[in-house]
């Protein structure tokens, strides 16, 4: 646990320290998010923050490779190299998209390439809970992996619409998944050093390190460079954990935790997945592309109800924590206890959503960006 905490703190510290430098670089190179009809921010804002987040993640991975317990994660498989290769592809894709913009097919092709790197290097779905344990053949395994990675990347990308929203949701989701991965290792007697727990810890660290500059009013956005990287790593963490568990070796009361690696990703990313599903249905029914942007996401609807940006973001955090936390509790406590916690939390959140507190926080003075050069 101490080594996980050390890696988390390293990722947070490096991300926090790199962000101001990346912000200056983004302004000078023209990585600016212009104000569009669907946007909430009031003036152009730098959007290369994902580069600082990637720096924090890479620093955490480098530190982990030198620690006694974590070293085994990199020595026993090609997972570390697979993650690094996929991240580099996503970062290159994100930088180009943040600066010049890419059409949906090109962006999708790059995401498939990154997912393919993971799958062919062994970070792949190898079984499904169908009729007991259904082991996938290599081709089906790759296809399932690519689909899961694409869904995760685009779900986080879709939800990145308010200051601090995507970073906070990923931090909460990754925190829940870290708790699950670590407790499952303890419960089933597995090796404590796992890729899933390490990736989750690094995601929490880099998001926490980025939030001071990204929460309302944001001084910098993570951009597609950041949102796609977070989605990629969330998917990688869940996939590696599902491959770690052999459900045929688990029996009795611990059977549910063995199958939850397949179910839990849906729970920890419930908010962005629901938002993405609604967006795809809404746009296709209107005869538009599923990737055509609009201003009808869940966070936009909270704003329309009268919630401030800060309150809307905190409510989205709370929904994520409720669903993800309940999913983790189900694995390790009696079902009635987890259900009780969920129902109490659900009641409180419904009450909070139905009682908007106004937009007082939204009138703070905007951050000034001094122009550099001509």
User: What is the average per-residue pLDDT within 104-109?
Assistant: 92
Q: Is residue 204, in this structure, part of any structural domain at all? A: yes
Q: Is residue 152, in this structure, part of any structural domain at all? A: yes
* pLDDT value of position 42: 63
Is 374's pLDDT higher than 50? no
Is 192's pLDDT higher than 70? yes
Is 147's pLDDT higher than 60? yes
Q: Locate 329 and state its tokens.
A: 């509790």
* pLDDT value of position 339: 92
**Residue 71 belongs to domain spanning:** 2-295
Mean pLDDT for all residues in the chain: 84
- The number of domains in the chain is 1
Q: Is residue 13, in this structure, part of any structural domain at all? A: yes
Interval 6-49: pLDDT, tens: 999 999 999 999 999 999 999 999 898 877 666 666 688 898 99
pLDDT band per the 50, 70, 90 thresholds, residue 366: very low
Interval 298-355: pLDDT, tens: 888 888 888 889 999 999 999 999 999 998 888 788 888 999 999 999 999 999 998 7
Q: Is residue 355, in this structure, part of any structural domain at all? A: no
Is 50's pLDDT higher than 90? yes
Are the C-beta atoms of residues 184 and 304 closer than 8 Å to each other? no
pLDDT band per the 50, 70, 90 thresholds, residue 256: low
User: What is the average per-residue pLDDT within 111-126?
Assistant: 90
Are the C-beta atoms of residues 134 and 128 closer than 8 Å to each other? yes
Which H or E element spans position 127? strand 127-128
Q: Is residue 340, in this structure, part of any structural domain at all? A: no
* pLDDT value of position 244: 58
Q: Is residue 357, in this structure, part of any structural domain at all? A: no
Is 287's pLDDT higher than 90? no
- Residue 218 DSSP label: P
d(CA 317, CA 315): 5
Phi/psi region, residue 287 (left: phi>0; alpha: psi -120 to 50; beta: rest), is: left
* pLDDT value of position 269: 81
Q: Is residue 280, in this structure, part of any structural domain at all? A: yes
Interval 196-225: pLDDT, tens: 899 999 999 999 999 999 998 889 999 999
d(CA 255, CA 277): 30
Q: Is residue 339, in this structure, part of any structural domain at all? A: no
Query: pTM of the predicted model, to two decimals?
Result: 0.88
Assign 134 to helix, strand or coil: strand
Is 103's pLDDT higher than 70? yes
User: What is the average per-residue pLDDT within 167-190?
Assistant: 86
């Amino acid at each position: 646990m101490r080594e996980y905490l050390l890696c988390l703190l390293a990722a947070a510290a490096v991300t926090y320290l790199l962000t101001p430098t990346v912000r200056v670089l983004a302004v000078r190179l023209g990585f600016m998010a212009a104000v569009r009809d669907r946007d909430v921010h009031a003036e152009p804002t730098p959007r290369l923050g994902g580069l600082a987040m990637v720096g924090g993640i890479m620093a955490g991975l480098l530190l982990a490779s030198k620690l006694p317990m974590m070293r085994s994660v990199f020595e026993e498989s090609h997972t570390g190299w697979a993650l690094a290769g996929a991240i580099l592809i996503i970062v290159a894709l994100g930088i180009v998209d943040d600066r010049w913009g890419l059409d949906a097919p090109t962006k999708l092709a790059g995401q498939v390439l990154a997912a393919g790197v993971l799958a062919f290097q062994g970070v792949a779905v190898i079984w499904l809970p169908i009729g007991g344990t259904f082991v996938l053949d290599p081709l089906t395994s790759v296809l399932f992996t690519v689909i899961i990675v694409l869904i995760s990347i685009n779900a986080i990308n879709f939800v990145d619409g308010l200051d601090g929203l995507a970073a906070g949701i990923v931090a909460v989701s990754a925190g829940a998944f870290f708790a699950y991965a670590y407790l499952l290792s303890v419960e089933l007697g597995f090796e404590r050093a796992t890729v899933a727990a390490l990736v989750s810890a690094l995601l929490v660290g880099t998001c926490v390190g980025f939030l001071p500059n990204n929460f309302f009013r944001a001084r910098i956005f993570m951009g597609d460079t950041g949102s796609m990287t977070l989605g990629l790593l969330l998917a990688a963490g869940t996939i590696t954990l599902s491959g770690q568990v052999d459900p045929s070796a688990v029996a009795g009361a611990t059977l549910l935790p063995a199958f939850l690696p397949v179910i839990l990703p849906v729970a920890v990313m419930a908010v962005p997945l629901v938002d993405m599903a609604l967006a795809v249905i809404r746009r296709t029914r209107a005869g538009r592309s599923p990737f055509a942007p609009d201003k009808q996401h869940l966070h936009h609807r909270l704003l329309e109800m009268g919630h401030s940006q800060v309150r809307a973001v905190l409510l989205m955090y709370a929904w994520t924590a409720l669903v993800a936390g309940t999913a983790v509790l189900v694995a390790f406590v009696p079902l009635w206890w987890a259900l009780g916690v969920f129902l109490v939390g659900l009641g409180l959140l419904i009450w909070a959503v139905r009682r908007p507190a106004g937009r007082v926080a939204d009138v703070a003075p905007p951050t000034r960006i001094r122009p550099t050069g001509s």
